[in-house]
Every structure is written in C-alpha cells, then in structure tokens.
Amino acid sequence: MIYKSKLKELFTGSFIEVQTLCTTLEDFNVKYIVQDYKKSALLAGFGITNLNYTHRLLVYKNDYDFAVKILKITNRV
C-alpha cells in the first residue's frame, strides 16, 4: 500500500518569506511544517544553487483552503 501524504505544499521561497507566512498562520492556529532544503543539503554534503527557494511550507490538506484564504486576506501571497 502506498502511503498518501496528509500534507500539501502552500509555499516555497526564502527563509524570511516562509517565516512571515508562518507567523500569520500561527495567529489563526493553523498547523504547518517547514522543510529546510538548505540545511538538508549541507548535512548531506551538497550545496544549494538557488537561495530564493530554500524553504518549503506545508500544511495539512484539511487546512489548506483555510490557509490560502488567510494568506490572501492578509495580502501575504
């Protein structure tokens, strides 16, 4: 059986952009996960070529639509 992820990508960008969105989501108690590609690459011994897309913001699928509405209303996306 193939595992289906319960997470959906909301945004990919720099650390500062993702942190700003995280703060907004926290204000509305939306749970999220941040994937740090830069840190992962460094730990694996690789480099990262594009510093504008180093972080990925994920939210649960059932919160995705709500998160998009929040970010549109607050003019974050």
Domain boundaries, the chain: 7-73
| pLDDT, mean over the chain | 83
Output the pLDDT for position 3.
45
Summarize pLDDT for 18-44 with one digit per residue, the tens: 999 999 999 999 999 998 877 766 666
Among residues 18, 64, 24, the alpha carbon closest in space to that of 37 is found at 18
> Dihedral sign, CA of 59, 68, 29, 24?
positive
Topology of 7-73 in CATH? Alpha-Beta Plaits (3.30.70)
**Whole-prediction pTM value?**
0.77
% of the chain surpassing 90 pLDDT: 53
**Distance, CA of 30 to CA of 25 (rounded, Å):** 5
Give the CA angle between residues 30, 34, 39 to the nearest 5°: 165
